[in-house]
A and B are shown apart, each in its own frame.
Chain A
Amino acid sequence: MRALAGPAMLLVVVGGFTIYKATSKDDAPSRHFAGLELAANDEDHSGTCYALSTLLIANGLFANAVHTWTAPDPDHENKWKLELERVEQGYNGPLRVFQNFTFEKSGEQVRLVSVEASDGIQTGLDWNIDQLIAAAHARGSTPVDRCLKDGGTGYKYPPGK
């Protein structure tokens, strides 16, 4: 009986740790997913020349808002929803303001497939993509390798195009 105590203890510790990791982890897309180039919403889904992670940082999307990533289908993490929320002081009192961006992997690109938001915030895909890349242009963010090469072009890239 005593011989089983050690392995049983180990089993409890490993099991407990696994359960803890599974329940306490904050979900987020893989580095590979975040590193994919965002596609524009044009007919050809032209690349914007910026990785999704670059655009999110350039826009300071995580600066003042609480952000939560969720995979609508946990078995196929090719689609991720980013929820940004914050509280604003409105005329009548505090208000929760939110924006939900859903990104989906398509080949070696990631596409913005839907935007939901509080009243008064634009949800058009074109408008939101333009906003995302405008900030990257303004900050001179690093483009993906494809566009770093001479003559590399993309949707509204090089800036001023």
Chain B
Amino acid sequence: MLLVACALLGGCAREVTRQQVAEFIDMADAAARKRYAPEICELRARDFRSQTTFQGHEGREPTGMEMTRKLYCQQAGQFSRLRQYRLERKSMTIDVATDRKTATVIAEYVETMPYYEQNTYVATPDDFRDFQVVESTDESVVGIEDGDLRFLSTRSDSRQSLVPKDSVQIPYD
């Protein structure tokens, strides 16, 4: 009966461990590489919030954007349209809170994907001249919801640069 109660009432309190969080981040990165929105979305808590600062190429003025889980998940759906995508994690630090209920993960990523210029007609996924390389530092808070680890929030600081299409080899998938 206790097990049923735990399942129905959102899971019993559990502690997060560094190992669990590291595995969770590996799983999240794998979902991002697959660009499969339901899997990406499932790892975000109900009240997930994402805050992004984006510095465009050519020293463009940075933009800031906040997204709820709903909007984030819709964007994850758009992501699936990409046919070439590479995600590399350059570093990761995990800091488990003293109450062991949450952990803060700081990770550096480099993403490479096609850059479709604004207001241009894209007939095929191959209609681009440059790849965009987006270097990001993500600070995420990971916690337990319904008994499973979830991202509670993510703050990203991203910087974009462009490289010619023929200078990078990324397989189609």
Contact = CB atoms under 8 A, between A and B. Distances in A.
A9 interface: yes
B123 interface: no
B160 interface: yes
Chain B interface extent, by class: 20 to 34
A32 B60 CA distance: 49
Contacts of B66: 96
A22 to B, nearest CB: 12
Contacts, number: 65
A87 B54 contact: no
Contact of A95 (B9, B60, B65, B68): B65
B62 A9 contact: no
Interface stretch (A13-21, A36-44, A129-137): A13-21
B74 interface: yes
A9 B1 contact: yes
B1 A93 contact: no
Nearest to B53: A93
B118 A91 contact: yes
Contacts of B55: 93
A66 interface: yes
B8 A13 contact: yes
Contacts of A94: 52, 54, 63, 65
Contacts of A17: 8
Contact of B4 (A9, A87, A90, A95): A9
Nearest to A96: B65
Contacts of A13: 4, 8
Interface string A88-118: 0111111110000000000000000000000
Contacts of B82: none
Contact of A87 (B8, B9, B56, B75): B75
A8 interface: yes
B71 A19 contact: no
A68 interface: yes
Given A90-B118, A93-B54, A15 B70 contact: no
Contact of A20 (B8, B60, B68, B74): B8
Nearest to B75: A87
A102 B159 CA distance: 37
Interface of B: 1, 4-5, 7-9, 52, 54-56, 60-63, 65-68, 70-71, 74-75, 78, 118, 160
Given A15-B8, A68-B68, A94-B54, 13 more contacts: A12-B1, A16-B5, A17-B8, A85-B71, A87-B75, A92-B60, A92-B61, A92-B62, A93-B56, A93-B160, A94-B52, A95-B63, A96-B66
